[in-house]
Structure 1
Amino acid sequence: MTDSPFVVSCEWLFKHLDEPQVVIVDCRFSLAEPQLGRQQYQESHIKGAYYLDLNQDLSSPVGEHGGRHPLPNPIELADKLSAIGVNSQKTLVVAYDDSRLAFASRLWWLLRYLGHEQVAVLDGGFSAWKKAEYPVTNVIPETQQATFTPNLQPQMVVDISVVKNRKDSQEVALVDSRERERYLGITEPIDKIAGHIPGAINYPWQQVTDSSGYILAQQQQQERWLELENPKEIFVYCGSGVTACVNLLSLEMAGIHTGKLYAGSWSDWISYLATGDEQLRTE
């Protein structure tokens, strides 16, 4: 277990499983099979956990621009959070998945973006919970009556215009969170164009955890970012603004609070290439 207020262990969650001010959210998802996460949840999940779907709940519909997972409508997400028992500034939300925090971190970041800092991710995810033989169920919990009022933190997010105008500044670091081969353009399994935003440096999101999905200790998170030399702003992106949130979690754990999400990420960036904007050409 790592020493961070952003992470809870399976042991801690088990001890607090029935507390009314703890709400558990299952975020399991598969980009290749969008229905798989919900099916897995319906078959077996942590007792009392609700399910939020990456496509249906944690994103808004895809448009011409904005990337493959545009940020959700804050009012609609707030209503969904109210319905699962999340009260603003009171309820601790514990998010988990089974993909090394790829999707749980999206909810973690979104809640903070909505002004709710009482949120943590489950260390080791669902696999660690099952390994510890803690209770699982297929019972879907009933909706709740809570009040979640969003208080947007716009400073946490940047769009393509900000990235274009500021990415080459000495005060800004642009971080690509995808695996090395996608960053280098050697392979591109999802988006239509391979490569990366010119000037970006590569910090693969998988390096935040070990191979079993356990988060590396705070000191190791700090060591990850030493080479950045304390830029005033860190713009973090991935393919569509989802796994970049794992790196944003890592930055917060390291005590670096200048990370901002380029929400549209690579899929948004390349959507403008057809417009003939030569500034967006990749290296």
Structure 2
Amino acid sequence: MSNLVSPEWVDSKIRDKNTVIFDCRFSLADPEMGFEVYKKDHIEGAFFADLDQHLSGTITTHGGRHPLPSVNILSQFLSSCGVDSEKIVIAYDDQSGIMAARFWWLMKYAGLNQVYVMQGGYKHYKEKGYAVSSKLPTQKTSEIKLDFNKNMIITRDELVKAVQQKDKLLIDAREPNRFKGIAEPIDPVAGHIPTAINVPWESHFNKPGWWKDKEDLTNLYKDQLVDNKTRVVYCGSGVTACVNAFAMSEAGLELPILYAGSWSDWISYNDHEIETD
């Protein structure tokens, strides 16, 4: 079954008590932007999920720019939105699916199964004339017990071992110039993790917000996956890598492991080897 749902289908679910919708709009360049545009209008009944506050944990010396949230942070947030294990959960954004994919991955990591991403993004939904509102939804309380699947992530120590033994396929989701070390607009060091290949997150879309179909996503990975190695995805801070994970799942491939700290964690250790092209 597809992880994608149409704007039309989402509009049909806005008053369904068994469905919870999340607005994940966010700008890395302007962290306040997401909530500001959400307050102006959003899909009727949608809750706001902030990348920094709800979908990430506390930044420390190591762990990257967007470490995974704790069980308490995520469970309290989801409970306040009325989410439980029986709810259908839908995420959308206006960042080509980046933030919605992060939300989707976190829900899978937390043990929720009925999680979907809306095709096209909010702009398309609004332009089609579907129900939007500036009214903030009423906070709720639900009983939810999250069960984080540790098999979906790889630790820094495990990754170091994998790089040394070359027994896993590392996939870097960043744009080619960052992967090659030609440019690095965000992190203080340029380059990539040794042995990694580059499958940019943008390559999974026909146009911004519109995911390629299953056949095209399968073809995108068929040449890289011939060795049957366990796949590990990473990016700058563990956000856009979720696009690659989502795409692989949509293609019917086994969900890859996420290096959550990603490049920003890797370079926080002075003894880590770095490659450039």
TM norm. shorter chain > 0.5: yes
Which segment drifts farther, 33-42 or 159-168? Answer: 159-168
User: Residue 23 of structure 2 corresponds to which residue in structure 1?
Assistant: 26
Which segment drifts farther, 200-209 or 225-234? Answer: 225-234
User: Residue 126 of structure 2 corresponds to which residue in structure 1?
Assistant: 130
2:5–2:119 Cα contact (<8 Å) kept: yes
1:179 to 2:152 alignment: no
- Out of 66, 69, 75, which is 2:66 matched to? 69
Q: Distance in 2 between matches of 1:53 and 1:114?
A: 17
User: Residue 275 of structure 2 corresponds to which residue in structure 1?
Assistant: 282
- Out of 31, 42, 45, which is 2:42 matched to? 45
Deviation at 1:167, TM superposition (A): 3.0
- Out of 83, 104, 110, which is 1:108 matched to? 104
Deviation at 1:211, TM superposition (A): 2.1
1:94 to 2:69 alignment: no
Which segment drifts farther, 116-125 or 209-218? Answer: 209-218
Q: What are structure 1's unaligned runs of at least 5 residues? A: none
1:264-283 residue pairs with structure 2 within 5 A? 264-273=261-270, 277=271, 279-283=272-276
Deviation at 1:75, TM superposition (A): 2.0
User: Residue 217 of structure 1 corresponds to which residue in structure 2?
Assistant: 213
User: Residue 146 of structure 1 corresponds to which residue in structure 2?
Assistant: 142
SS state of the match for residue 268, structure 2?
Answer: helix
Deviation at 1:131, TM superposition (A): 2.1
Deviation at 1:281, TM superposition (A): 3.0
- Out of 144, 148, 152, which is 1:156 matched to? 152
Which segment drifts farther, 148-157 or 249-258? Answer: 249-258
SS state of the match for residue 142, structure 2?
Answer: coil
Count of residue pairs the alignment pairs up: 275
1:191-210 residue pairs with structure 2 within 5 A? 191-210=187-206
Q: Distance in 2 between matches of 1:150 and 1:9?
A: 27
SS state of the match for residue 271, structure 1?
Answer: coil
User: Residue 79 of structure 2 corresponds to which residue in structure 1?
Assistant: 82
User: Residue 9 of structure 1 corresponds to which residue in structure 2?
Assistant: 6
Equivalent position amino acid for 1:22 in 2: T
SS state of the match for residue 98, structure 2?
Answer: coil
Taking structure 1 as reference, are residues 256 and 170 closer, same or farther at Cα in structure 2, changes over 3 Å only? Answer: farther
Cα RMSD after superposing both structures: 1.2
TM-score, normalised to structure 1, is 0.94
Q: Deviations over 1:140-169 (max 9, x none)?
A: 000112122101110000121111111354
TM-score, normalised to structure 2, is 0.96
User: Residue 55 of structure 1 corresponds to which residue in structure 2?
Assistant: 52
Q: What are structure 2's unaligned runs of at least 5 residues? A: none
